[in-house]
């Protein structure tokens, strides 16, 4: 019996979602031995990524995978660059939890649309900052970094009126009760792939790839493939103010994509729909549409 080593970051959220994945793997493969190994990434020790920085939370995990120190890597898909290192492959995408962002606020500060002018919002995401600036320029956005516990604690300090996080992280940490509002995607469009987990393997490791693929969710895969194709087509990297969200109904995939100036002064929004079998092509086509609408100047293309 081969032992399968599953690699992940060591944050409470990364460990929680990895334990959930490993539990599903054990259900599918009860005679196999799975062990979790935590890996420290640059994103865990440095204060923040530079604009356009790739692999900030994934590079060290991918290096461990390439060197056979681990067999399956688990990533939050929104952190995983669209360019895959040689020798690695995206083996599966698990069923998405909730793609939306969530607002957690102090008393009387529970709904984004209703927040008074001048309210202080905590987030470190360039996407959330830009979309907030475009949609609610009357709000004050203040930098807020750290893991989920750190950010929730910062809200209690009184320095922020509300904070914005990915809903999926709170759900996976069993903190759904802390969510005051699932933010309308008409106000803030999620990051491409947000709410989904990626299982990455070595291209020549057929056993680990088979294990990982057993958890693949086809609908989620089609949706996030379109979203990540849109991101890749923009040529801007995962740190650009880009949002994308695909929905799927009766085999028809609808993809919405946003690109904003960093200060929110120019927000480009576009949609496309077509057969889900053409999910990647749809994402790339939508990216070209946004670039033609003035997006080239915003991404420096």
Domains and CATH numbers, the chain: 3-94+196-216 (3.40.190.10), 101-182 (3.40.190.10), 226-295 (3.30.160.40)
The H-assigned helical ranges of the chain are: 12-28, 42-45, 59-66, 126-135, 148-156, 167-172, 206-213, 218-234, 279-290, 296-299
DSSP three-state, residue 79: helix
- What pLDDT is recorded for position 235? 86
- What pLDDT is recorded for position 56? 78
Span 266-295, pLDDT tens digits: 999 999 999 999 999 999 999 999 999 999
Cβ pair 263, 232 in contact under 8 A? no
Span 216-272, pLDDT tens digits: 999 999 999 999 999 999 986 556 799 999 999 999 999 999 999 999 999 999 999
- What pLDDT is recorded for position 1? 66
Question: Looking at 79, 98, 221, 222, which residue is catalytic?
Answer: 79
DSSP three-state, residue 156: helix
Q: For 124-128, what is the mean pLDDT? A: 93
Entry pTM: 0.93
Nearest to 128 by CA among 185, 43, 44, 83: 185
Nearest to 244 by CA among 261, 235, 231: 231
146-168 burial: b if 16+ Cβ within 10 Å, else e? ebbeebbebbeeeebbbbbbbbb
Tokens of 69: 């120190």
The distance in angstroms from the start CA to the end CA of the chain is: 50
Ramachandran angles phi, psi of 140, nearest 5°:
-100, 125
- Whole-angstrom Cα distance, residue 51 to residue 141? 18
- Known catalytic membership, residue 205: no
Quote the DSSP letter at residue 51.
T
Nearest to 59 by CA among 25, 20, 88: 88
For residue 65, what are the β-bridge partners?
none
- What pLDDT is recorded for position 274? 98
Tokens 């914005």, located at residue: 164
């Amino acid at each position: 019996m081969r032992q399968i080593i599953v690699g992940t970051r060591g944050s409470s959220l990364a460990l929680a979602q990895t334990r959930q994945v490993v539990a599903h793997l054990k259900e599918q493969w009860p005679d196999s031995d799975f062990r979790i190994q935590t890996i420290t990434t640059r994103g865990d020790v440095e204060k923040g990524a530079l604009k356009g920085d790739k692999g900030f939370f994934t590079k060290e995990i991918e290096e461990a995978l390439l060197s056979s120190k681990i067999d399956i890597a688990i990533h939050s898909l929104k952190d995983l660059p669209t360019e895959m290192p040689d020798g690695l492959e995206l083996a599966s995408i698990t069923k998405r939890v909730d793609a939306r962002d969530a607002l957690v606020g102090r008393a009387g500060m529970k709904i984004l649309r209703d927040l008074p002018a001048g309210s202080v919002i905590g987030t470190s995401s360039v996407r959330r900052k830009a979309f907030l600036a475009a949609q609610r320029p009357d709000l004050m956005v203040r930098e807020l970094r750290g893991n989920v516990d750190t950010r929730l604690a910062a809200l209690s300090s009184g320095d922020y009126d509300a904070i914005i996080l990915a809903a999926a992280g709170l759900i996976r940490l069993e903190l759904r009760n802390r969510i005051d509002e699932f933010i309308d995607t008409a106000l803030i469009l999620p990051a491409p792939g947000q709410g989904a987990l990626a299982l990455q393997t070595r291209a020549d490791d057929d056993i680990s790839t088979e294990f990982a693929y057993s958890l693949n969710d086809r609908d989620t895969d089609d949706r996030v493939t379109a979203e990540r194709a849109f991101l890749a087509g923009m040529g801007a990297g995962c740190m650009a103010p880009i949002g994308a969200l695909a929905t799927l109904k009766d085999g028809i995939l609808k993809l919405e994509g946003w690109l904003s100036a960093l200060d929110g002064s120019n927000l480009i929004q576009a949609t496309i729909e077509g057969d889900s079998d053409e999910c990647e092509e749809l994402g790339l086509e939508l990216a070209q549409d946004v670039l033609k609408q003035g997006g080239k100047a915003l991404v420096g293309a």
